[in-house]
């Protein structure tokens, strides 16, 4: 009996890790699509997939599941260029950090091809197949944004895939809510990190930086082209949270300049109490969401 096929398009950090994690899942063959000989050689050496290809379009008619792991523009272009090549009844998903624009682009797919937006909340400050690992997703969140045509069969398949990859939970939401939350919890953190590093003092701080500085700036060594796209595709939500932060930072600056200890103490106490509450809820397991 011929195996079913999972096609993973793009074997970078996330795509490579997914291809590794999905090997052996049910009766599926995992095919990894690469663009460069260098990535192909590295993926083969690391056994990143059951099979590798330079021609993902040729694999589409036989692919039961297609996982798009390119940058946002790459995913949108791939959907448009290949919309008639997908296998009828196939499940197509992406792992992009923005969802509204990707879900809109997926509307070009023909009836019978089911698209579900996905976002694994896992990663590293480094990228590429060299840093991929099959255990990357263990105990992390897996966010999904099903489209209006999502079937119970495909949702069940996706949850089984998530369980096989050892995600901690599956969180279902809308594309709009996803983008609002990610603007705050992820993209804003990257804006802060690069802003802190965009300072000449960075090169003279050796010996003065502690754990808080390293934690704050950890994600600043980012892929500039990729994050330019992510920021741009989520501009309204990200601009809103950046504006909120600017206002709050201004309030701190004004209190510090004025020597207003009462105001400063009140702001610090409020923020500290909120963080302690979150920590307590996490320790009690109150933030655990329904799983598979």
Sign of the torsion angle spanned by Cα atoms 227, 229, 232, 238: negative
Look at residue 226 and tell me if it is in a domain: yes
Considering the domain architecture, whether residues 82 and 148 belong to the same structural domain is answered as: yes
Residues with Cβ within 8 Å of residue 178, at least 6 apart in sequence: 99, 100, 117, 119, 143, 145
**Residue 261: which domain range?**
178-284
d(CA 142, CA 166): 10
Instruction: Examine the domain organization and report whether 37 and 136 are in the same domain.
Output: yes
Which residue from 139, 146, 144 is spatially nearest to 169, judged by alpha carbons?
139
Residue 225 lies in a domain: yes
**Residue 196 sits in the same domain as residue 209:** yes
User: What's 268-287 look like in SS3?
Assistant: HHHHHHHHHHHHHHHHHCCC
Q: Are 169 and 192 found together in one domain?
A: no
Residues 157, 97 share a domain: yes
Q: Is residue 291 part of a domain?
A: no
Asked whether residue 152 is domain-assigned, the answer is yes
Give the total residue count for the chain.
292
Distance between CA 24 and CA 278 in Å, rounded?
38
Closest CA to 137 of 152, 109, 117, 118: 118
Print pLDDT tens along the chain (292 aa): 689 999 999 999 999 999 999 999 999 999 999 999 999 999 999 999 999 999 999 999 999 999 999 999 999 999 999 999 999 999 999 999 999 999 999 999 999 999 999 999 998 888 899 999 999 999 999 999 998 889 999 999 999 999 999 999 999 999 999 999 999 999 999 999 999 999 999 999 999 999 999 999 999 999 999 999 999 999 999 999 999 999 999 999 999 999 999 999 999 999 999 999 999 998 987 654 433 3
pLDDT of residue 285: 78
Last residue of a domain, one of 135, 155, 173: 173
Number of independent structural domains in the chain: 2
Give the CATH number, domain containing residue 106: 3.40.50.720
Same domain, residue pair 225 and 202: yes
Domain-ending residue, one of 138, 173, 208: 173
| pLDDT score, position 291 | 35
Residue 257 belongs to a domain with what CATH number?
Answer: 1.10.3660.10
Round to whole Å and give the CA distance between 141 and 162: 10
Give the separation between CA 263 and CA 240, rounded to whole angstroms: 25
pTM above 0.85, yes or no: yes
The residue among 173, 206, 221 that closes a domain is 173
Give phi and psi for 144, each to the nearest 5: -125, 145
Q: Do 235 and 104 have their domain in common?
A: no
Same domain, 146 and 183: no
First-last CA distance in the chain: 29
Helix, strand, coil distribution of the chain in percent, nearest 5 = 55, 15, 35
- Decide: 117 and 93 in contact? Cβ < 8 Å: yes
Q: Could you tell me if 84 and 146 lie in one domain?
A: yes
Q: Are residues 89 and 191 in the same domain?
A: no
Per-residue pLDDT, 287: 55
Do 100 and 43 fall within a single domain?
yes
Report the greatest alpha carbon distance in the chain. Answer: 76
The residue whose two tokens read 């930072």 is: 249
Are 188 and 149 contained in the same domain? Answer: no
pLDDT of residue 126: 85
- Three-state DSSP at 178 gives helix
Q: What pLDDT, on the 0 to 100 scale, is given for residue 233?
A: 97
**Does 290 fall in a domain?**
no
Residue 292 located in a structural domain: no
């Amino acid at each position: 009996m011929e195996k079913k096929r999972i096609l993973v398009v793009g074997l970078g950090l996330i795509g490579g890790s997914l291809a590794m994690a999905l090997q052996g899942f049910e009766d599926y063959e995992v095919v990894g699509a690469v663009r460069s000989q260098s990535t192909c050689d590295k993926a083969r050496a690391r056994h990143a997939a059951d099979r590798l290809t330079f021609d993902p379009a040729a694999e589409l008619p036989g692919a039961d599941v297609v996982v798009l792991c390119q940058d946002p523009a790459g995913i949108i272009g791939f959907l448009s260029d290949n919309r008639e090549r997908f296998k009828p009844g196939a499940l197509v998903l992406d792992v992009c950090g923005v969802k509204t624009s990707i879900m809109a682009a997926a509307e070009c797919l023909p009836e019978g091809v089911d698209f579900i937006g996905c976002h694994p909340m896992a990663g590293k400050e480094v990228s590429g197949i060299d840093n991929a690992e099959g255990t990357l997703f263990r105990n992390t969140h897996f966010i999904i944004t099903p489209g209006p045509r999502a079937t119970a069969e495909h949702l069940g398949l996706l949850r089984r895939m998530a369980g096989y990859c050892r995600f901690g939970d599956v969180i279902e939401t809308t594309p709009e809510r996803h983008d609002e939350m990610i603007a705050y919890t992820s993209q804003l953190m990257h804006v802060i990190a690069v802003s802190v590093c965009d300072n000449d003092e960075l090169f003279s701080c050796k010996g003065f930086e502690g754990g808080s500085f390293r934690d704050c700036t950890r994600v600043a060594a980012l892929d500039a082209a990729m994050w330019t796209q992510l920021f741009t595709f989520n501009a309204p939500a990200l601009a809103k949270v950046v504006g909120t932060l600017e206002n709050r930072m201004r309030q701190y600056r004004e209190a510090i300049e004025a020597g207003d200890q009462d105001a400063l103490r009140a702001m610090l106490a409020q923020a500290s109490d909120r963080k302690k509450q979150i920590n307590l809820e996490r320790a009690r397991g109150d933030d655990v969401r329904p799983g598979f």
